[in-house]
Amino acid sequence: MDTPPDRWRNTVALNLDSAYLCMRAALPHLAEAPGAAIVNISSAAGVLGVKGGAAYASAKAGLQMLTRVAAAEWGPKDVRCNAIAVGSVATEGALRSWARFGATAESMGREVPLRRVGRPDDIAYGVLFLVSPMSAWITGQTLAIDGGPRIPAALDDDML
């Protein structure tokens, strides 16, 4: 909670306000296209929070709620709206960020059940699904593409 107010505003503007403004500008055009779909790119931080990242996590949580509200309001216009909560993905920026804390893609991957970090194409396939006819009856949802870190730890039989 030590985020300076100007950094807070910039982070929210980049991660929430920009999506709102784009969605608002796109609606008149999307309403004319049968089966139109919006996919907002959110983050696992918007679901779980992240220590030291109140502004980012709050903005991404807000984006997920904006997605749900837009789905409810725009559904009657045949416009679907969903989001993807992205986990740790090995982009150039993420690799640089992790390196500042002594982490690597390999060490980050050990923290998730699938034992690897995501690749950009993992996210792209989720977007393709959400804009395709295969998801024609899905709206207002946030799809987690994160390798599974939020699933409960498996219990051994002797723990039951």
Question: Which residues are catalytic, by number?
Answer: 56
Give, in order, the Cα–Cα distances in Å from 23 to each of 26, 47, 62: 5, 22, 14
Tokens of 75: 């559904």
CB 151 within 8 A of CB 90: no
Helix (H, G, I), strand (E, B) or coil at 85: strand
Tokens of 67: 């997605």
CB 108 within 8 A of CB 98: yes
Tokens of 159: 């723990």
